[in-house]
Structure formats: C-alpha cells, structure tokens
Amino acid sequence: MRRVLFAVLAIAAMVGLGGVSLVVWPIGASPELTERKGDPRRGAYLARAGGCIACHSDPGSGRPALTGGAPIKTDFGRFVPPNITPHQMAGIGDWSIDDFARAVRQGVAPDGTPYYPSFPYTFYGHLGDQDIADLWAAFQGVQAEDVTAGAHDIAFPFNLRFGLKLWRAAYAKGPTTETDPDRSETWNRGRWLVNGLAHCGACHTDRNVLGGRRADKYLSGSDDLPDGGKAPPIRPGDLRNAGWTVSSLAFGLKSGVMPDGNTFGGGMGEVVQHGTSWLSEEDRRAMAAYLLDKDMPGTD
C-alpha cells in the first residue's frame, strides 16, 4: 500500500507540473518496413521465445489462442493482454507492419498513445527490421478471431496514459543486448535472448515504487510479482549456488526440471511450457551459458 501511495503522489506531482505538455508530447519514431518480406516460420519461433503466445493466450478461459491472456493483477491495477490475431476489429487486423513495429519496439499504439509496461516492449527495442517482419508474417498467418479479452482496470492516476510519457523517459531503456567482441558467439546469443527477446529481467528484477526496474538489482530476483508471485535471483553466483550447470539449466529450460528433481511452478512453469521448451537446444544452451557466465564451448 505504501508503494502505491508513493507512486500516486509522484504521478500527481508530475501531472501538476506539466499535464498539458505531456498530453501533446509526441512519442515514438516512424519505421518504414512496408516493403520488407517476413518468414512466418522464423516469426513463430521468435514469438515463442518472446512469450507472445504465453501472454496473449488464456487456455483456462476457453478462448482461442492469441485472443487475449489471463488478467495480470498488480498494485497499479488489472492489465488484460489483448487479442493479437488479425481480426479487423477485435485484433490487429487493421494495423500496418509499421504500426506493429512501433508497438513492439517502442511501446506506442497506432493512435500514438503509450502502452503500459505490462507489455514488455522495453526488452524488444533491440529487435531488427527482419525480426519484426518475421513476427508480423507469423501473426498475419493465424486465424482471425472476433473475441475481445476485456479492458484494463487501472486505478487513478495510473489510468491517465499521458503520464506514461515521463515513465518512459526514466525507465524505457532495456538492458544491453549488444554483441561483446571479446565473448563467444554462444554467450552473445544468450545475452541477446536473456536481456532482450526472452525478457528474463521483467520478472527476475525488483522494481521501484513507479514500477521501473532497479538497474542495480538486475536479475537479483523479485518478491513483488503480480498476484503475489516471486522470482528467484538468477545471477551466475546464485545459479551456481543453487546447483545449476550449463547442461542442467539448458535441460531445465526444456523440461522444467530443477537440479533437486523438483519442477518449476507458477509463472516459470508457464514460461517453459509455452516458451523455452520450444526453443532449439543451441538457444537454450546459449541462455544457460550467458546466465552462468560460461564462455567456453563444452564447459559447465
């Protein structure tokens, strides 16, 4: 409750200082991808790795896949992942590929309004034009479904989306995914996946009162996930102390089985079921190598 109170006071101060300016402050850049052709098979793979299918589907609801995910309950309100099938009204069928690129990489809707960071666009900014084209091709190829998942239920003042423009200025930069020339190709691939597309830091990093990730606590775990969930620390020393090796972690990302024989539950179980279990052995091992900071092929 104290966290929410601090956040309310901070946002109220922001609004009071420049509410009108925030409303008209433009955000986002205009990509130009109309002529780029995508590979739907590769796009489907990226969608699995990025958690798109897991987040935007809710098997328990009886709705078709990608027509909206289970509500995400937080201190700021209730967020509902939307329908992302190519339906003209209920989904993203009236979007262009440039609309899609701006949404995924910049967190900006086609009408120019900012998305809430419950959509982890801050981790997708590194995706290249071909990645976006492949994802777009994959989503364009699924069945259009006339199903609406529902609306967000956000408490005041967080329901004032223009306030997110200040949040973006402070917290929208994601962790680095740039290639380190001094590290192996496998380690760099793992960094690209862990810090970017797979957005591990979205859950495994603590946040401040405004919901911004604490950079000094990156991958150090969080006790304040939606619905009261928790995520353990996954820095190299923490993983080694918990008994993980590159081989066992790569296997765990496929099977959900931990070194002690137990299995992942809750959110991580869903991540494995709908996401990492579908990845190639090479990509799972790359993620494990990066997380354990192992750079030599064949080492644990």
pLDDT in tens, 114-162: 999 999 999 999 999 999 999 999 999 999 999 998 899 998 888 888 8
Give CA–CA dist 51/198, Å, rounded: 7
Which range has the top average pLDDT, 13-22, 31-40, 120-129?
120-129
**What is the per-residue pLDDT across 194-223, written as a single tens digit (0 to 9) for each?**
999 999 999 999 999 888 999 999 999 998
Q: Return the amino acid letter for 178.
A: E
- Take residue 29 and report the two structure tokens written for it: 């850049």
SS3 for 43-80 is HHHHHHHCCHHHHCCCHHHCCCCCCCCCCEEECCEEEC
Looking up tokens 């809707």 gives 109
Residue among 190, 188, 184, 178 at smallest CA distance from 286:
190
Whether 286 and 193 have beta carbons less than 8 Å apart is answered as: yes
Q: How many CB atoms lie within 10 A of CB 58?
A: 19
Give CA–CA dist 80/150, Å, rounded: 6
Residue among 272, 242, 231, 274 at smallest CA distance from 254:
272
Q: Please tell me the pTM assigned to this model.
A: 0.88
pLDDT in the model for residue 119: 94
Whether 175 and 75 have beta carbons less than 8 Å apart is answered as: no
For residue 153, the surrounding DSSP H or E stretch is strand 153-154
Q: How many CB atoms lie within 10 A of CB 7?
A: 19
Alpha helices by DSSP H, the chain: 2-24, 40-49, 52-55, 97-106, 129-140, 164-171, 185-192, 236-241, 246-255, 266-274, 281-291
Distance of CA 22 to the CA centre of its chain: 25
For residue 28, the surrounding DSSP H or E stretch is none
**What is the per-residue pLDDT across 258-277, written as a single tens digit (0 to 9) for each?**
999 999 988 899 899 999 99
Confidence label for 25 from pLDDT (cuts 50, 70 and 90): very low
Percentage of the chain beyond pLDDT 90 is 70
Identify the DSSP state of 108: B
- Take residue 144 and report the two structure tokens written for it: 């259009």
Residue among 234, 250, 240, 259 at smallest CA distance from 285:
250
Q: Directed axis angle between helix 281-291 and helix 246-255, to 10°?
A: 130
- Take residue 275 and report the two structure tokens written for it: 């996401």
Q: How many CB atoms lie within 10 A of CB 204?
A: 24
